[in-house]
Chain A
Amino acid sequence: MAVVLAILQYCSLLLAHCQSRAFHYPIMGFCAPPKPWERAGAEGTSGPSPFKPPSGGSTSDVVEASGTAKPGETIAATEGNMSANVNNPISRPMPQRPWQQTGYGNSYGGTGYGSNMYSSVGGYGSTYGSGGLYGNSMYSSYGGGGGLYGGSGMYGGGMYNSGMGSSYGGYGMGGMGGMGGMGGMGGMGGMGGMGPYGNPDPNSFGPPAAPPGFWVSFLRVMHGAVSFFGRVAFLVEQNTQAFYLFITAMLQLFDRSGMLYGELARFVLRLLGVRTKSKKGRVQGAEAPAFEGPGQQLFEAPKAANNSWDNVWGN
């Protein structure tokens, strides 16, 4: 009996040791070398300290002594397994859920869906190594439309020849500075959300976890999209000037495209036989047929040419 007890005791000791090992980091014993400013002769130059004198003891004790401690306060609803982690003093690292498994692409090699997505997008450097899209289009100004479209072409090259890829390519086109690049990244946004599908869990034991239900995965995709755009928004915020330039460029683009569509519309209307009269036309030559165009007159014929037109029609 005593032997059994001893073995049990030994085992529990061993277990406790194993459990505590991972988290037993000596707090005060082994510390970084003294900082340069802590050495003798490196005293500060200022007068009396504006702060309350420091307290003794560890930071946790100091906070608890001050009555401000509120351990484990979560900011929003946390996940269930976290509360267990909080209450258990000897906690184990929380095992990651299957969709949290990370890795350099290898962990994404699951079903065809996941692996294709990630091999084409996440392949470091290949899809958007600094040489390609990013390098030449991102920092060129918005004017060079053709070259910038090259950015979307990159995404269009593979499986992104879809609405998503091209629309974000559009961002890149309008873009400037960081905007273009980020816009280009948009294609990834959806992808990040898709990731959860079919990632095998290399550390899990037993059968693979059941695939998440439709709503779960849908919400996860939504979460990915929302957090992605949240981060874009933050980046934009931190680059207010860049954002301003981006908006200015977009407005200019719309302005010009508006002119273009105006011209196209006029052309089509003329083909259809609708007579449009512009103010200038009426002023300069009310008798001239609209089709021959006071507009053309304005563009192609300088003032002296008015006479030649008059000759053609008048006499």
Chain B
Amino acid sequence: MPSFKAPAPGFSVRFSPFHEHRLLAATSQHFGLVGNGHLLVLDLSAAGPGGPGLTPLFSFPTSDALFDCAWSESHDSLCAAASGDGSVRLFDVTLPPAQNPVRLLREHAREVHGIDWNPVRRDAFLSASWDDTLKLWSPDRPASVRTFRGHEYCVYAAAWSARHPDVFASASGDHTARVWDVREPGPTLVIPAHDHEVLSLDWDKYDPSILATGSVDKSIRIWDVRSPQAPLAQLAGHGYAVKRVKFSPHRQGMLMSCSYDMTVCMWDYRKEDALLQRYGHHTEFVAGIDMSVLTDGLLASTGWDEMIYVWPFGSDPRAM
């Protein structure tokens, strides 16, 4: 299946919620330590000279590394990127690079590491930053709507509930995952999720109270927010820190994870033998994964080997 060599190590990849052939990828020079970032829009063309291929449609350079990106749920050409200089940038892919970013939102004091667009109400997005805060933004406003304080260390990721328009969760280096309601001043639930930093989390799309967290302690834990005393399940199998977790938009209980052990894994936490598949196609840290909302079973990953892969579940990503 198609792969694409990006100009720099990849940090995040996202399928468009509007066009099944379109992907967004955030890449950063020098492994995100210093240098520029690039936001790429890729097209998954069905037929090409060498079979299906990934072709770049747009490329937007930024002055600092990009750690995450997200498509707008309300407009098919709008997307947001989280930058290492503390800014959140909105891009319109129909405009030339000279007119982008269409909005530059500078409120975070440190690197913005995670970004997520509200998939239910579709009119707002969140940014998670190393300055220990999260911010809620609306694309029609020039400033953040509100700030969420409470974490005691960097916030690495934020994820909106797939079913509740006002609820989201955040993963932080203070070893906790927190559940928030935009109407409440503080977190509604604090889960001491792991003994190490929590790097990522996601909600089950089919069960609104199930949450998965991925941590530096190499494990993925599944939580029920109604009984957060103990995890529902613990998925072991990664050899290093788990960088991202993502629930399948199509199948209940199925989730995807990537790790610093350079593998991508598919899991079903409700099964006795939870690990469904392990992909070792990357030769470096895998930093970004996504599952297509429009095509069942279509997966994407990107990593520090500068490769972006798209493949259907069950096949070999490197098979052409």
A224–B166 Cα gap in the complex (Å)?
Answer: 38
- Considering only CB atoms, which chain B residue lies closest to A82 in the complex? B106
Determine if A44 is an interface residue (Cβ-Cβ < 8 Å): yes
List B199-253 residues whose CB lies under 8 Å from chain A.
Answer: 199, 205-210, 216, 218, 225-226, 240-241, 243, 249-250, 252
Whether the Cβ atoms of B34 and A192 lie closer than 8 Å is: yes
Whether the Cβ atoms of A60 and B107 lie closer than 8 Å is: no
Determine if A297 is an interface residue (Cβ-Cβ < 8 Å): no
Whether the Cβ atoms of B249 and A51 lie closer than 8 Å is: no
With most chain B CB atoms within 10 A of its CB, the pick from A27, A71, A75, A237 is: A75
List B58-98 residues whose CB lies under 8 Å from chain A.
Answer: 61-63, 65, 72-76, 78, 84, 92, 98
Given contacts A86-B142, A237-B197, A242-B260, whether A70 and B34 have CB atoms under 8 Å apart is no
**Interface residues on chain A, size class:** 35 or more
Whether the Cβ atoms of A44 and B163 lie closer than 8 Å is: yes
Whether the Cβ atoms of A44 and B141 lie closer than 8 Å is: no
Main secondary structure on B side of the interface with A: loop
Least Cβ distance of A118 to chain B in Å? 9
In the complex, which of the residues A51, A91, A102, A122 contacts B181, with contact meaning CB atoms closer than 8 Å?
A: A51
A262–B295 Cα gap in the complex (Å)?
Answer: 66
The number of chain B residues with a CB under 8 A from chain A is 101
Q: Can you sample 23 A-B contacts with CB below 8 Å? A: A23-B103, A30-B75, A32-B18, A36-B296, A51-B164, A54-B165, A60-B145, A63-B183, A65-B183, A66-B183, A68-B146, A68-B182, A75-B108, A86-B142, A103-B61, A104-B61, A122-B36, A189-B33, A189-B34, A231-B111, A234-B130, A238-B241, A238-B260
B-contacting residues of A (Cβ < 8 Å)? Answer: 22-28, 30-33, 35-37, 42, 44-46, 49-52, 54-55, 58-60, 62-66, 68-76, 78-79, 82, 85-86, 88-89, 91, 93-94, 96, 100-104, 122, 124, 130, 178, 181-182, 185, 188-189, 191-192, 203, 224, 227-228, 231-232, 234-235, 237-242
A-contacting residues of B (Cβ < 8 Å)? Answer: 7-8, 17-18, 29-36, 61-63, 65, 72-76, 78, 84, 92, 98-99, 101-104, 106-111, 118-124, 129-131, 133, 136, 138-147, 154, 161-167, 173, 181-185, 188, 196-197, 199, 205-210, 216, 218, 225-226, 240-241, 243, 249-250, 252, 260, 283-285, 293-294, 296, 305-306
